Structure 1
Amino acid sequence: MKKLIRGAVVGLVAALTLSACGGGDSGDDNPLAGGGGDGGTVTVGGANFPESNLLGELYAQALEAKGVKVTRKFNIGAREVYYDQVVKGGISVMPEYNGALLTTSVDKASTAATTEQINAALKAKLPAEVEILNSAQAEDKDSVTVNPQTAAKYNLKSIADLKPVAGELTIAGPSEFKTRQQGLVGLKSAYGLEFKKFQPFDAGAQATLVKLLTENKIQAADLFTTDPTIEQNKLVVLEDPKNVFSAQNVTPLVHKKAVNDTARTALNAVSAKLTTQDLLDMMKRIAIDKEDQEKVAEEWLKKSGLA
């Protein structure tokens, strides 16, 4: 999911991105609108990839089922764009991946690897204005995934196996994968990897990355592990024995003053039910079967007794 979101934008470009990106059913195009845990609107965000927006839709519908007024602001951008807006209160609720949140925005030097370690670090180090709610069992990690021919040619099973051959390979992924600890920086420090080339893409380009892998135009890619096209195309997710990619549990990040106890209870109820297999199943319906995320979210919530 990690999870695992990507597409760094800074300065004026970030501001333009935030003002331009909309989503949902509100006529207000300002993603910083809303807030207020005192009966006001709760603004649910989504990053710039489909799974984040699906999770945002799950949160939004779960809140609405409890009578909470919701504004949706999806496809906002990467964590480098939206995190500060959650801290400032412009976004009330954001679906997050706990490990990536920790090492990208809170403590880049953290070595926490397990769900418990990561959440303890987040609770200790997050700014006072925000908090994480309960993590789901559902997890979506970044990964180093290779095509079958590359795996067979070099007998690749683990990221460590790449060390003697990385210089011959092109790896692709979201642009910020180049500078993140849970990305090329960590792969170099932990495994000594230096690839022939890094080819950046927008975080929403998973389908493009898979296509390029299957055509062998790239040999490796950062793919999210709940992407159903990995199995469909027989791609090989390499093991990560040094835990460059830590636990990435789906976890609501909230602005404290923007959510009341009713909202917290509704969001924690989603976390209590959501599994990795649920994510895989829902993402298959969206990515492969081309179903609407609103319908997919609604049916999961009803099946889970949350709507």
Structure 2
Amino acid sequence: MTAEPLEAPKRAVSYLRVSTKRQLDTAADIDPDGNSIATQREACAGKADKLDANVEREFVEPGTSAQTIEKRTVFKQLLAYLAENPGVDYVIIYMRSRAFRNLGDAVLTKRKLERLGIRLVSAKEDFGDGIMADAMEAVTDIINEVQVRMSGEDIRVKMQHKAENGGTIGRARIGYKNIRIEHDGRLVNTVGLDDERAPLIRVAWELYATGEYSIDRLYATMADQGLTTRPSRRNPAQPLAASQLARMLHDPYYTGLVVYKGETFPGRHPAIVDQDLFDKVQEVLEARSARGQRDRVHHHYLKGCQGPVGTAQWRS
């Protein structure tokens, strides 16, 4: 009696995703991909085993908060791979909420995969098969979308409230640093001056206010004076880019104000420049813009001067 040949394992690909780089870096000393990705990878591998499938390709979307799949580069790479490599049986995701932020994306993706003969399965959710399974998937996707929208609205309200109370939205600007201080007997997060960079930021504003410095020459000047970005775990400190200087010179945050959604509020952070200096810089920027003038290089840059300098030392 001839034994029947063993059925070949099914083919699968997995899609792993976190929303922010901070999530990706969680427990980075334990797993180089981050704890969340490692957890998803383990769950998807377990699901593949239950399906008697081999995961032949893994697609990792790290640190992207895009609300739609059209804005996710890796997800589009996954779809392209499936189109170029027919015969894949499953796309395994950790949870539907990890892959889809709204019902529309979930439905469109499912239809695309079905046309390729591929089944989308969740490692953490088992809906079964048939009409009721499809209905439960849709209900789950609707609930996920509602939660995303409610979370977004909650964040918007909290950010508005934070701005109205003078809090800094996002990471501290260059020249400042995020610190913790004691307030009413407890430690709170706030923003303080960066003692190394704040004086150099002030110098940059003073020099540009003279009207004698182009952005390019201001970049060269401040790079020589030692104005750098803050170092991070991945990137060393480097000279502040000309584009960063240009944005800084338009930003009223440096006068102690917070701008959020077009509204301006007194900030809790200390000012680096006063209103008069801010206004002078805006006059220079507006005058050059009105004339269509490109920032020119002037001769006032004294390469080789040691330490931060004020404008008086730099004038001929």
Determine if the TM-score, normalized by the shorter chain, exceeds 0.5.
no
Q: TM-score, normalization: structure 2?
A: 0.26
Q: Give the structure with higher Rg (CA).
A: 2
Q: Return the structure number with greater relative CO, CA threshold 8 A, min gap 6.
A: 1
